[in-house]
Amino acid sequence: MGNTSSTPAVATPLKPTAQEGCPVKHSNVAPEGCPVKHSGNTTSVVGEGCPVVKKQKVYNVYSQEIDPTNNMPSNPNQEPNDGQKYPLNTTRVTSTIPKGGTDGTWTYPSEQMFFNALRRKGKGEDVHEGHVQTIVSIHNNMNERAWNQVAAWEEALHPGSDSKLLRFCGRPDDLTPIARLKTLFGYDKPFDRHDWVVVRNDNTEQRYVIDYYFDDDKAAEDAVPRLHDVTSVKSITMYARPAVDSLSAVVDRIKFPLLNLLGTAPAVSFPPPPPSDEADASANNDDLLTVEQVNATFGQIQANCSKCFTNVQTCADEVACTQAATALQFCMANILCKPDAVQFTAALASGDEGRIEEAYAAMGNCVDRFEVRSRAALQQQALEAARKVSAASQSA
């Protein structure tokens, strides 16, 4: 198993621009099953890639129909594309990313399949056949690196869960709340975003969001990577973390950096710091939380929003998932930042889509600020505990 034509699509070595975003842009792919509404009106269906499959026909991320009984392409396209001048390799590389529902792993597209997919979507007119090998190598390497980050979270926080990648979405035009918040403090915007859903051996599912960042200053240092090379592509970094779809995910997002601080979790790359001290300048002592406040707030969220968390985990279609995610965000904001929740209610009443989107983003930023503040409180507690242990050992 695992010999499917589906694979998470990631960045290519081509330099992203402000207009294009992702070097190989995914905006025409419509992940219809994702829990949040996406822009674009194209009809490409990402059958395996998105959280909900609503049609009998199943497609992979390259819009190829696949047989749902074995996840194999109904008509795999390894033929040269019209207008193609040079031959491309048709050999496919097996990933090390375990595939949910099987005993195998995901399989990457061949150079020919990748090139055909780009041309079919109207994205490959400026891609020369001679560049495809490099593009595919970086594509595959980025997937492996992203999975390493996801696996690090899973192994540290859910050891023995035998987590596997079940499905995925490319969402380059949707900034995550934390990415939007970081831009306010001087960080660059990510050029791409993916949502990956993992399944554990108890059949629980967890969605991860992955932001991809490009550093133009390091592009000249890039080299063509091998599959598991972590040093050749210096210009592209990524930041994976659990999506806030459940209270346990919120707890995980706070606990994992703390485990990193204590040296009990694998290291995971975080976005590069902003070029200035704007973030430090924006810090305010009044914004600090105590551990007691963190625990009390979590108690409120657990008591008041438990039904919302359940609805997010059990929603059966896109509309229900969108409503559940919105209700969860509103419930948490109602506790963490009442004014933002009130503004969202007023925006809904106005029917103004612009106001609604802005108010919803504000609630998301509020939840992310609480995550950062909670993490800082727990880290401070850990440092103080470590100092006490050190002082006690020195006086003994």
158-189 tens-digit pLDDT: 888 999 998 888 887 787 766 776 666 567 78
Cα separations (Å) of 105 from 86, 93, 101?
A: 30, 11, 10
CA distance 214 to 91: 29
* Contact in structure between 37 and 322 (CB atoms under 8 Å): yes
Asked if 289 contacts 190 with a C-beta cutoff of 8 angstroms, the reply is: no
Reported as type and span, the H/E element at residue 338 is helix 338-350
Position 291 scores a pLDDT of 80
pLDDT at residue number 154: 92
Average of pLDDT values for 130-143? Answer: 87
Given a cut of 80, whether residue 157 has pLDDT beyond it is yes
Per-residue pLDDT averaged across 220-242, rounded?
81
Q: At residue 267, does pLDDT exceed 50? A: yes
The token pair that represents 296 in the structure block: 């009390």
Question: Are residues 218 and 235 in contact, defined by beta-carbon separation less than 8 angstroms?
Answer: yes
- pLDDT confidence tier of residue 118, bands split at 50, 70 and 90: confident
More confident residue, 143 or 357: 143
Give bridge partners of residue 307 from the DSSP assignment.
Answer: none
pLDDT attached to residue 97: 92
What are the structure tokens assigned to 383, written together?
């440092």
The pLDDT of 224-248, averaged and rounded, is: 81
pLDDT of 43 higher than 60: no
Angle between helices 318-336 and 338-350 (to 10 degrees): 140
Q: How far apart are CA 343 and CA 363, in angstroms?
A: 9
Beta strands (DSSP E) in the chain are 58-59, 65-67, 72-73, 94-98, 105-107, 164-170, 192-199, 205-214, 236-242
Q: For 217-227, what is the mean pLDDT?
A: 80
Q: Residues 105-111: what's their mean pLDDT? A: 88
Angle, CA of 19, 21 and 25, to the nearest 5°: 110
Round to whole Å and give the CA distance between 168 and 240.
13
* Closest to 270 measured CA to CA, from 374, 385, 143, 372: 372
* Composition of the chain by helix, strand, coil, percent to 5: 45, 15, 45
Please tell me the distance from the alpha carbon of residue 250 to that of residue 390, in angstroms, as a whole number. Answer: 31
Q: Which of 18-32, 234-248, 308-322 has the lowest mean pLDDT?
A: 18-32
| pLDDT (average), residues 181-199 | 79
Q: Give residue limits of the domains in the chain.
A: 58-262, 283-395
Report the pLDDT value the prediction gives residue 235, as an integer from 0 to 100: 82
More confident residue, 373 or 100: 100
Using CB atoms within 10 Å of the CB of residue 45, give its burial: 0 to 12 exposed, 13 to 18 middle, 19+ buried.
buried
Each residue of 282-310: pLDDT tens digit? 444 446 788 888 888 888 888 888 888 78
Beta bridge partners of 45: 30
Whether the pLDDT of residue 148 is over 70: the answer is: yes
CB atoms within 10 A of CB 136: 22
Q: How many CB atoms lie within 10 A of CB 298?
A: 17
Written as one string, the DSSP assignment of 219-277 is GGG--PPPTT-SSS--SEEEEEEE-SSSHHHHHHHHHHHHHHHHT-S-----PPPPSSS
List, in sequence order, every residue forming a beta bridge with 197; answer none if it has no partner: 167, 207
User: What is the model's pLDDT at position 40?
Assistant: 39
Question: How much is the pTM?
Answer: 0.56
Report the percent of the chain where pLDDT is more than 70.
66
